Amino acid sequence: MLTDAVASVASVASVANVALAVDPVPWARSQMAFTLAFHIILVPLGVSWSVMALIANYRGIKHRDADAMLLAQRWSKYMAVTFAVGAVTGTVLSFEFGLLWPKFMGQWGAAFGVPFAFEGIFFFTEAVFISIYIFGWRRLKPWTHFWTGIPIAVAGVFGSISVVAANAWMNAPEGVTLDSTGKVVDVDPIGVIFNSAMPLMAAHMVVAAYLVGGFLVASVYATGMLRGRRDRYHRVAFLIAFSVAAIATPVQMGVGDALARWVFIEQPGKFASIELVPETSTDVPEVLFGHLNPDYQVVGGIKIPGLASILSDPGTGTATSIQGLNTIPVADRPTTTEVNVTHLAWDIMVGLGTLLFLLTLWYWASWIFRRDMPRSKWFLRAAASAGVLSVITLEAGWTVSEVGRQPWIVYEKMKVVDAATANTGIWVTFVGVTILYLGLGVTTILVLRMMSRRFRRGDGAGDEEVPYGPSEEPSLSGEEGALLGDEPARPSEEPVG
């Protein structure tokens, strides 16, 4: 009997070991992808919300605008919440580099860590001045308080640039000297940070932050206006946030085009995945929503003759040759699944980005010809959906960047499979982190909604009397009045469509 019991325990232990002993690479990839996808939503708010709050703050002081001042105070409180959540998710990501990719950090940590050292400085600067800005609402003079918010915006931008510089280095590993065994023996910090991919990738991310942050915040107020909250407060909030996004969107189109050309020249394998090009050729069509089958043939989709070649290099047009996936050694070639994911993400990013661009054209055309924002419910419905659509566009862009680089974690220097942990129980941390992040996400949304309801009821701390705000209703005139509608300061109802 004892022998049978021992055999049973051994059998159970063997089954458990088999269950736990899984390939760690897919789990490491999945955990990193999930946590990055979650954290990246908070980055645009961290970068752009401070700027929008400062615009409202400036208007409140300069033009004695009670609505703008109240808006700045409330936005600073929302900003503090999202910054705190971003700090948590960002900290988890920093631990994951060591947990999930120890071989990568062991080989390249001396170079990869350089941009993050600067990111830490900017992060702490941002945290300190957020505290001062919020604490100073009732304790500092108006303009003194306003200027304490400027470092928040500056640190947010440079913190993002620092992180993107690290990611850009993975795409263009420069500034390092290797010995005969491939070990890093010397690091040039300037070369690492200012690698050839950094300028365009950093610009693309920073502009995206203003685009996504503006659309996200504007979508909340567009939804409120559709629900009947048509007071001037909502109008001012919408105009500030949407104008920021409407300025960033056309800029992003230009930056994105320049970055795509850089990829065409420097990362032809990624570009072949983006454009779904199995074999090197000229007069390459632009394929919309097609895919590559296991035989490396393009199947389905809509083909626009010659457009991929034309967009790659307008100077040579359809004669532009695009390197195909067949030129990449089989051992270094992305899988068909990775190619298809990259191509689909590209289509989503470009497609939704174009729709958002058209929405901003509608907005600017209305200002040019009518000196007013569009008032139709269709515009407000589109603006209300723009927040979610911009987030999807952002996620799709990062998918293109990261999946498109496969199988490399450091482009043409180290593969993902060679960088990952060998811990076969890593799936446990994936489950734990997923539960943690889902709980954190739900809690964040509930807290923000609770704050919003309190503000609408008028029982938010000190919101009835705006800090150092005007004691009488503001009256605007001229250009400023035209931009914000220049109705009396806070009418109970304002028709918008």
Instruction: Give the DSSP letter string of 27-86.
Output: HHHHHHHHHHHHHHHHHHHHHHHHHHHHHHHHHHHHS--HHHHHHHHHHHHHHHHHHHHH
Q: Is the pLDDT of residue 10 over 60?
A: no
What confidence category does residue 199 fall into, taking pLDDT thresholds of 50, 70 and 90? Answer: very high
What confidence category does residue 20 fall into, taking pLDDT thresholds of 50, 70 and 90? Answer: low
Q: pLDDT at position 464, please?
A: 44
How far apart are alpha carbons 176 and 484 in whole angstroms? 52
Q: Going by C-beta distance under 8 Å and a sequence separation of 6 or more, which residues neighbour residue 106?
A: none
Q: How far is CA 424 from CA 100, 194, 229, 291, in A?
A: 11, 37, 54, 33
What confidence category does residue 492 fall into, taking pLDDT thresholds of 50, 70 and 90? Answer: very low
- Highest average pLDDT, of 64-78, 201-215, 273-287, comes from 201-215
How far apart are alpha carbons 231 and 458 in whole angstroms? 15
Cβ burial of 318 (10 Å; 0-12, 13-18, 19+) is middle
The DSSP symbol for 390 reads H
Identify the helix (H) or strand (E) that includes residue 186: strand 184-187
Q: Is the pLDDT of residue 63 over 70?
A: yes
How far apart are alpha carbons 52 and 259 in whole angstroms? 27
Cα angle value 475/137/492 (rounded, 5°): 35
Q: Is the pLDDT of residue 201 over 80?
A: yes
Residue type, 311: L
Residue type, 280: T
Q: How far is CA 318 from CA 23, 145, 286, in A?
A: 45, 57, 11
Q: pLDDT at position 481, please?
A: 41
| Other CB atoms within 10 Å distance of the CB of residue 6 | 10
Strand-pair category, 414-415 with 184-187: unpaired
What confidence category does residue 405 fall into, taking pLDDT thresholds of 50, 70 and 90? Answer: very high
Q: Where are the domains of the chain?
A: 39-484
Q: pLDDT at position 467, please?
A: 53
Q: Is the pLDDT of residue 460 over 80?
A: no
- Cβ atoms of 288 and 347 within 8 Å: the answer is yes
Q: Is the pLDDT of residue 333 over 70?
A: yes
Identify the helix (H) or strand (E) that includes residue 409: strand 408-410
What confidence category does residue 468 fall into, taking pLDDT thresholds of 50, 70 and 90? Answer: low
Q: Is the pLDDT of residue 305 over 80?
A: yes
The DSSP symbol for 136 reads G
User: How large is the average pLDDT for residues 152-169?
Assistant: 93
Q: Is the pLDDT of residue 267 over 60?
A: yes
Lowest-pLDDT range, 11-15, 129-133, 145-149, 430-434? 11-15
Residue type, 161: I
Q: pLDDT at position 172, please?
A: 92
3-class DSSP state for residue 141?
coil
The DSSP symbol for 185 reads E
How far apart are alpha carbons 203 and 208 in whole angstroms? 8
Lowest-pLDDT range, 8-22, 337-351, 364-378, 387-401? 8-22
Q: pLDDT at position 490, please?
A: 43
What confidence category does residue 375 fall into, taking pLDDT thresholds of 50, 70 and 90? Answer: confident
More confident residue, 215 or 297: 215
User: How large is the average pLDDT for residues 110-129?
Assistant: 91
Q: Going by C-beta distance under 8 Å and a sequence separation of 6 or more, which residues neighbour residue 159?
A: 119, 122, 123, 126
What confidence category does residue 7 fall into, taking pLDDT thresholds of 50, 70 and 90? Answer: very low
What's the pTM? 0.86
Helices 268-275/232-266 angle, 10° precision: 120
Looking up tokens 């609402």, which residue turns up?
137
Residue type, 267: Q
What confidence category does residue 94 fall into, taking pLDDT thresholds of 50, 70 and 90? Answer: confident
- Cβ atoms of 394 and 44 within 8 Å: the answer is yes
For residue 347 the two structure tokens come to: 């289509």
- Helix segments in 136-149, DSSP class H: 142-148
Beta bridge partners, 410, equal 414
Q: Is the pLDDT of residue 268 over 80?
A: yes
How far apart are alpha carbons 361 and 225 in whole angstroms? 21
Identify the helix (H) or strand (E) that includes residue 94: helix 66-100
Q: Going by C-beta distance under 8 Å and a sequence separation of 6 or more, which residues neighbour residue 459?
A: none
Q: pLDDT at position 9, please?
A: 40
What confidence category does residue 193 fall into, taking pLDDT thresholds of 50, 70 and 90? Answer: very high
Q: Is the pLDDT of residue 471 over 90?
A: no
Q: pLDDT at position 484, please?
A: 40
How far apart are alpha carbons 88 and 440 in whole angstroms? 9
